[in-house]
Amino acid sequence: MLATSTRPPTPEEVRKLDLTDIAIAAGLADTLRDRLRHHVTIDPFTVTDPFDGDHSYSVVLDREKPDRVVAMIVNKKDSLPRMPWSTMLGEGLEKVAISTEEAKALKHEMMPKETNNFYPYRRNSRVAGFFMFAFQVCGQR
């Protein structure tokens, strides 16, 4: 489910979120992770931020308030078959494609720590991409 009407938030818009917004996004991220586990295996450890190589980037946004970034998804471009995103996201979330530069800027705003912010996910025992969830956010810049 790739959104065409919703644009990703800017780092400035994310910076303006209050603690309640961060808590809501964290709760939505926890629910999303549970849904994702029905379709992929999420590794229990984090790895180096995947901003090199051949990847596509997306953010999962709360439809109620699209400035709330629930998760960031980094997919390896060769990872097929496609996943059932509309089933995994449900009614309240929306997946929006972003550029590498947008992904780096949003990640830096949400998680200023420079390394090991992404959980690998596997399909058929092979790493297909990476997730960063809002419940990992430990404060604001």
Whether 5 is covered by a domain: the verdict is: no
The answer to whether residue 63 sits within a structural domain is yes
Mean pLDDT for all residues in the chain? 87
- Tell me if 104 is assigned to some domain: yes
| pLDDT band, residue 138 (cuts 50/70/90) | low
Tell me whether residue 39 is in a domain.
yes
Query: Mean pLDDT across the stretch 62-88?
Result: 87
In a domain, 3, yes or no: no
Residue 114: which of 60, 57, 48 has the closest Cα? 48
pLDDT of res. 117: 87
What's the pLDDT score for residue 2?
45
- In this structure, the number of other CB atoms found within 10 A of the CB of residue 136 comes to 18
Confidence grade of residue 109 (pLDDT, cut at 50, 70, 90): confident
Q: What range does the domain containing 19 cover?
A: 11-135
Place of tokens 């991409």: 129
Q: 47 or 138, which is more confident?
A: 47
Q: Has residue 6 been placed in a domain?
A: no
Overall average pLDDT of the 28-39 stretch: 94
pLDDT at 130 over 80: yes
Burial class (CB in 10 A: 0-12, 13-18, 19+), 55: middle
Residue 40 vs residue 139, higher pLDDT: 40
141 located within any domain: no
Tokens matching residue 70 = 């629930």
Number of structural domains the chain divides into: 1
38 occurs within a structural domain: yes
pLDDT digits (tens, 9 = 90+) for 19-32: 899 999 999 999 99
Give the residue among 135, 133, 128, 39 at the shortest CA–CA distance from 86.
39
